Each structure stands twice: as structure tokens, then as C-alpha cells.
Amino acid sequence: MGRYSLKLTVMKKIVFATHNKNKLAEIRNILKNYDVVGLRDIGCETDIVEDGDTLQDNAKIKADFVTNNYHLNCFADDTGLEVEALDGAPGVYSARYAGEGCSYHDNVVKMLAAMKGKTNRKARFRTVIALNLDGKQYFFEGIVNGKITEEEHGDGGFGYDPIFQPDGFEETFAEMSMEVKNKISHRGRAVQKLCEFLNI
């Protein structure tokens, strides 16, 4: 009779502080060693108020909310578009650049108006991830440099994608496949760093 050995691997649970199903699916695909759950999976319906002054503050606020209230390991992300000619605006206010409750397109229209006639069109997307793991806090940053185009191009993606052209490419993010965008994007780069750290 042969011998059977049963190797049990207990996956560590970690919360990604998001209600966004796409972001969750993307991370689950990469973080194979962890049982990644979203806010809804832990019974959290709260819309956590992101009122920090920096991307790092907001990522920390979200991760700490979960760890303090649910006593779980958690990570959270926050992203901003930083435009050189606008002194780094809209930055941490990227989601509501055109006002509270505005649409992605309202933001694009406002950005094109703000950049009208400007020759310096350099911009970057920056994502910060805060991770609370076993009582310690870590931060990871991802940046992609590029420029604000003169007009909208492409209909993929979301947010400022139709007017952001990453360095080294002829297309805007909105004209790229999601695969290509994820490889070079701010969020993709921050997530890669998080995953390298967690997968050790």
C-alpha cells in the first residue's frame, strides 16, 4: 500500500479596502498565497471618508479603518494625477477635480481647459498603497510619467485615461489594452511591489 502525505496550506486572510470588484479580481489573480477579501466580504458597507491631505494619508486612513474596526490585516490604495504646469494638481483631489459628484468626463473637460495653451504638458500618475500586516505598517508607491494630450483619444479605461499618454508610447491609456496598461501603470507598479513583498 502506498503512502499518502497530506500537505495542508492555510492561506492567510488579507483585506483589500475597496468596494471595486475589478480591482479585487485583479489583485486575487496576482496574490496567490493570500485569501484576499474585499470590504463587502467582511460585512463593511461603510464608504470610508478619504479626507487626508496626501495620497499616503488617504491610503493609511482606509487601511487603518479596517484594521482598527475589524482587527484584520489590510491594504488600501489611493491614486492621483499630478500635472507639472498646475503645481501638482489635481493630485489627491483627482476624483473630484471638477466638483463633488462630478463625472470622469467632467474632470477631463476641466483638465483640457486648464491646460489650454500650455506648452509644458508633463504629468504623472502616482499610486500609494498602505499595508497593515501583523501590527506593522508599510507603504508602496508606483509612478508612471507621461503628458496630457491636447484632446481626447480612445474610449477604453476610465478617469483621465483619454488624455494621458505615458512616456515611450504613441497612444493614450484609453487606446491601450488593459493588459498593456496594467503592466506599466502607476497602480500596476505599486501592486507589483506589494506582491513581491507579500509573496516572499
Element (H, E) at 107: helix 104-114
Least distance from C-beta 185 to ligand IMP, angstroms? 6
Distance of alpha carbon 61 from alpha carbon 51, whole angstroms: 8
Cell of 93: 483631489
In angstroms, give the least distance from the CB of 144 to ligand IMP: 9
Whole-angstrom Cα distance, residue 31 to residue 167? 28
CB 108 within 8 A of CB 152: yes
The H-or-E segment that residue 68 falls in is helix 55-70
* Per-residue interface string for the shown chain with ligand IMP, residues 85-124, x marking contact by CB under 6 A: ---------xx--------x--x-----------------
* 132, 185, 194, 198: residue in contact with ligand IMP (rule CB under 6 A): 185
Q: Residues with catalytic annotation?
A: 78
172 touching ligand IMP, by CB under 6 A: no
Q: Which of 128, 173, 175, 198 binds ligand IMP (CB under 6 A)?
A: 173
- Our finding on whether 82 is near ligand IMP (CB under 6 A) is no
Nearer to ligand IMP, 134 or 151 (CB): 151
Tell me the residue ranges of DSSP E strands in the chain.
Answer: 12-16, 34-37, 74-83, 90-91, 122-133, 136-148, 164-166
Tell me how far apart the alpha carbons of residues 104 and 99 are, in angstroms, rounded to a whole number.
Answer: 11
x-or-dash string of contact with ligand IMP, 127-166, rule CB under 6 A: ------------------------------xxxxx-----
Question: Which residues contribute to the site for ligand IMP (CB under 6 A)?
Answer: 78-79, 81, 94-95, 104, 107, 157-161, 173, 185, 187
